[in-house]
Amino acid sequence: MSDRTAQKRRGQRTGRHLGAHAVLLVGGVVMVSPFIYQLLATFMTNGQITSVPPTLWPTQWNLDNYIGVFTQVPFLRQMLNTVIITVLTTVATLILCALGGYAFARMRFFAKGPLFAVVLSMLMVPGTLLLIPQYQTVQSLGWLNSFAGIVVPGLVNAFGIFMMRQFFLGLPKELEEAARLDGANPGQVFWQVMLPLARPGLSALAILTALASWSSLLWPLVIVNSQDMMPLAVGLASFTGEHGSEYPSMLAAALMAMLPIMILFLVMQRQVIEGIAFSGLKG
């Protein structure tokens, strides 16, 4: 009787696992299908993409759309611009948000609570609400159509400070106390002890910041008016003409623009999950 019961339970568990895997497989196919169609569409003509009913498979495979990307816009220059903007924004955000998060998590200073409440309140302010004052500030500084104008307004964000604060709160205080007993000053405690331990949180914040910076459209679109200074997200808009759009070339450019950041996320996804999970352990 016990063997039959055990076999029955194993059969039930196997059935549940198969059902769960089937649901996940269907969900995965649904999520991946748009990217597969995007890849196939890069080999189609504009007429095939806009045909009714839609064409799901290219009738002739060619690389003309990929070649057209480099002839219609300065793609490599815009890719370089995007890399520079993303690297500058990510590095500066990591340093400044780590400093701010550590200060709110470990240090004591006047009006610490109210100041942190102000930081949290910034999370509820829509970015478009700050667009006009930011533009006026950048214009007065003479930073229009420049890397400084694109990067500087987004160097510090409230979410990054909050995330790093939560991470530092989860680290044991005994490590700081031991470092102070060894004669370390506050700067040494932060840079040599606490910051290396915050690597998972920094990795998560880095990939989230890089993703946001790589795909940023609205702010660069507002202050950049030269194709040589445009990032990729803005450059893709050049494929939309007055009388029509070159959808195959646009999709090819979008696919090439998406690949670097997708590879970065796939490489660092484990660190992202660990960093976000650890940051939420302590409130």
pLDDT band at 97 (very low <50, low <70, confident <90, very high): very high
**CB 69, CB 253: distance < 8 Å:** yes
pLDDT for the residue 57: 82
Both 216 and 274 in one domain: the answer is yes
Find the domain containing 257 and state its range.
73-279
Both 156 and 229 in one domain: the answer is yes
Both 151 and 263 in one domain: the answer is yes
The pLDDT tens digits for 140-173 are: 998 988 889 999 988 888 889 998 898 888 888 8
Section 172-197 average pLDDT: 84
Both 10 and 141 in one domain: the answer is no
> How far is the C-alpha of 225 from the C-alpha of 198, rounded, in Å?
39
Question: CATH number, domain at 166?
Answer: 1.10.3720.10
pLDDT for the residue 95: 92
Section 55-60 average pLDDT: 80
DSSP letter (8 states) at residue 141: T
pTM (two decimals): 0.81
Both 18 and 122 in one domain: the answer is no
The 3-state DSSP class for residue 240 equals: strand
| Tally of structural domains, the chain | 2
Both 35 and 133 in one domain: the answer is no
Both 158 and 265 in one domain: the answer is yes
> How far is the C-alpha of 135 from the C-alpha of 245, rounded, in Å?
30
pLDDT band at 266 (very low <50, low <70, confident <90, very high): confident
- Indicate if the pLDDT at residue 224 is higher than 70: yes
pLDDT for the residue 278: 61
Section 28-56 average pLDDT: 82
Place of tokens 């909050």: 162
Both 136 and 266 in one domain: the answer is yes
